[in-house]
Structure 1
Amino acid sequence: MRFIPLASVVLGSWLALPVAAADAQPWLQRLAAAEQSQSFQGHFVYERNGSFSTHRIWHQVGADGVVRERLLQLDGPVQEVVRVGGQVQCSSSAFADQAADTQIWPVRPLNIAQVGESYDVRVVGASRVAGREAVVLGLIPRDQHRYAVEMHLDEATALPLKSLLLNAEGQLLERLQFSDLQLVESAEADLHASGECKPMQVVEARSSVADAWRADWLPAGFVLKAVTVRPSSISAESVASLVYGDGLASFSVFLEPLGGAAVEEARSQLGPTVAVSRRLSTVEGDVMVTVVGEVPLGTAERVALSIRSTVGEASAVQ
């Protein structure tokens, strides 16, 4: 089967492709299980906004089934993350407070049933990445509130050797691509964090947080996945985080009491990642609502505008 770049699919030739949706289901199932069943290590390149960085990853599946991984950036600022059982243990990133709410390369958390509702998934060809044969999946969003994804899956393991995110115009927003992949066990020393990796603060989950807030609008297919609470950097109160996902993509809504602090509203985008902040007035004081995730900017803005406190009336500060 020949390989057709997903950019052409996004631009309108999807229905004309000689591909079969049924062929994609087994690959999705293998992809969803790959992270939990296969140890590996290797190097990959990350590209965003025309900038490149190189990384090393050690990914170990223990005898007890617990996954431990260490990610290290090899150029530019020192960036390191260690995660055990899906939880971030330490991070050297300036955005360490958000690290627990974001997915770390290489596997995105998949909910196959959800993915099928929000994306048209097809096998669109074959390729070769890092010297390994791969099957190419195209995941085309069914609406404008998420990005198209092209995944090159290793034929032997279904691990993602390459992943591209594209917007509705077919423009590349993000590339993740292995340059080498070794299906070997990692040495214990390789999985240990360096002194640059700062321990993450314990995150407390509170179901009452979800009850205190609501979103009057969410993109179809996105549901609440997790609720966390952590200390604020600008006040004595805590920052609540509501994480929403569609089975593939995700975004977080951070709710930070301002305690009188002067903070400006903002909107930004770097590659596929957007951040939209707005000030919200509630009966308990002003709160900064910030939506961060890999969704289109207009989608994040609409979510931010829809957030309401369930404790009395809430209205945006003009």
Structure 2
Amino acid sequence: MPQALINVLRCRALSVLVGLLLALAGALPAAADEDEAATWLERLGPALNMTSYRGVFVYARGENVHSMQIAHRYNNGVVEERLVLQDGGSGEIVRKGMNVVCVLPETGRVKLDQVIPSGPFAEAFTSQLMPVSRWYRAEMKGEDRVAGYEVVSVSLSSKDPYRYSHRLWLEKSTGLLVKSHVRNAEGEVLEQFQFTSLHIGEDIPDSEFKIRTQGREISRTLDEPTPTASVVQRMNGWQLGWRPEGFVPAAAPRSGKGQAVAFSDGLAAFSVFVEPAGPVTMPTGASKIGATTVYMHQVNEGDNAFLITVVGELPPQTARQVAESVRIEDSLALGAGES
């Protein structure tokens, strides 16, 4: 399995809201019947970054449930965030601008590279204005209360079997995302996020954004979102023969030896890793946690073997089709035979 993928999967339970609170800034449904939903989604983009708040949320993926404390503020044009795991051991994430550090006491600090989006919610996709209404049907689902705040609910239903559907709850005065569901075609909730306590608009002191967990520090700055043309150039030595309509190259994450490209339809996202297969045979096929699928497939090209890994918020059958469509064109470009 790619080392970058291993790092992400280890930190995923902690990091999900880092991307989650950057979500959907580009989701702009346009059909006449979706005008009200589009208006709320337009508000959501600024609210995700520019609203100051603190609280506790619960995130569930399949049978895995985690509770986290969060402090978030927009300070002099810079997003600052600190998340602290409340159960299952200690750990925290601190973000300042594009710098994100995952702190795990048992392993030291692990830098979160821009590799795999957390569900559909990723820094790499917030600046892209894609025609989400072509792939999802948006509609209002009424009003409710979450964590003591009045909210409106917006449904984004997939128009094809290649992606999941979403349900969002937005706080009425700010447009802040306070609850979300990811659902399959049968309506089953695969992943969900919800604030259990929330205070919006507080003046949060600097001390709330200091790393407090002891550990070895590895610090880097996340890359800015990569232009599509540059991303396509990263597909050096391989081609993706099929992907669901609407998914376009959106980022070129680091993958160590080999290559990786991320794709987004403006809401959902997945990444494809292509690297020389190691001496240890990796299990192939699909594994799934909540809405996140990891599909591994081996391709032989001459005397060289390559491991294809697709990771993202896709149905397993979609991830399989994507992985099995990869074609190796230039073994040397992918580092085959290098020591």
Shared fold (TM-score greater than 0.5)? yes
1:33 corresponds to? 46
- Give the CA deviation at 1:68: 2.0
- Give the CA deviation at 1:27: 0.6
Over 3 Å counting, the alpha-carbon distance change for 1:189 and 1:105 in structure 2 is: farther
Mapped contact 1:43–1:178 kept (Cα < 8 A): yes
1:144 corresponds to? 161
| Mapping for residues 1-318 of structure 1, pairs under 5 Å | 20-63=33-76, 65-92=77-104, 100-103=114-117, 109-110=125-126, 111-183=128-200, 184-193=202-211, 194-196=213-215, 199=218, 208-231=233-256, 238-282=257-301, 285-311=304-330
SS in 2 for 1:22: helix
Structure 2 segments unaligned to the other structure (5+ residues): 1-31, 333-339
Identity %: 31
SS in 2 for 1:228: coil
In the alignment, the residues of structure 1 paired with residue 110 and residue 286 of structure 2 have an alpha-carbon distance, to the nearest angstrom, of 20
Deviations 1:212-244 (A, max 9, x none): 33210010111111012243xxxxxx2422111
The amino acid of 2:88's aligned partner reads: G
In the alignment, the residues of structure 2 paired with residue 249 and residue 268 of structure 1 have an alpha-carbon distance, to the nearest angstrom, of 18
SS in 1 for 2:190: strand
In the alignment, the residues of structure 2 paired with residue 286 and residue 105 of structure 1 have an alpha-carbon distance, to the nearest angstrom, of 29
SS in 1 for 2:243: coil
Mapped contact 1:81–1:197 kept (Cα < 8 A): no
The amino acid of 1:216's aligned partner reads: G
In the alignment, the residues of structure 2 paired with residue 227 and residue 301 of structure 1 have an alpha-carbon distance, to the nearest angstrom, of 21
Residue-pair matches, total: 289
Structure 1 window deviating more from structure 2 (52-61 vs 295-304): it is 52-61
Higher relative contact order (CA 8 A, sep 6+): 2
- Give the CA deviation at 1:186: 2.9
Structure 1 window deviating more from structure 2 (101-110 vs 82-91): it is 101-110
In the alignment, the residues of structure 2 paired with residue 192 and residue 46 of structure 1 have an alpha-carbon distance, to the nearest angstrom, of 23
SS in 1 for 2:151: strand
Structure 1 window deviating more from structure 2 (164-173 vs 87-96): it is 87-96
Deviations 1:191-216 (A, max 9, x none): 12222585366778885422333210
Over 3 Å counting, the alpha-carbon distance change for 1:90 and 1:54 in structure 2 is: closer
The amino acid of 2:248's aligned partner reads: V
Mapped contact 1:70–1:80 kept (Cα < 8 A): yes
- Give the CA deviation at 1:35: 2.1
The amino acid of 1:148's aligned partner reads: S
Deviations 1:146-201 (A, max 9, x none): 11111000001111110011100011101100012222233222212222585366
SS in 1 for 2:160: coil
SS in 1 for 2:130: helix
What RMSD in Å do the two structures reach over aligned CA positions? 3.0
The amino acid of 1:255's aligned partner reads: V
The amino acid of 2:295's aligned partner reads: V
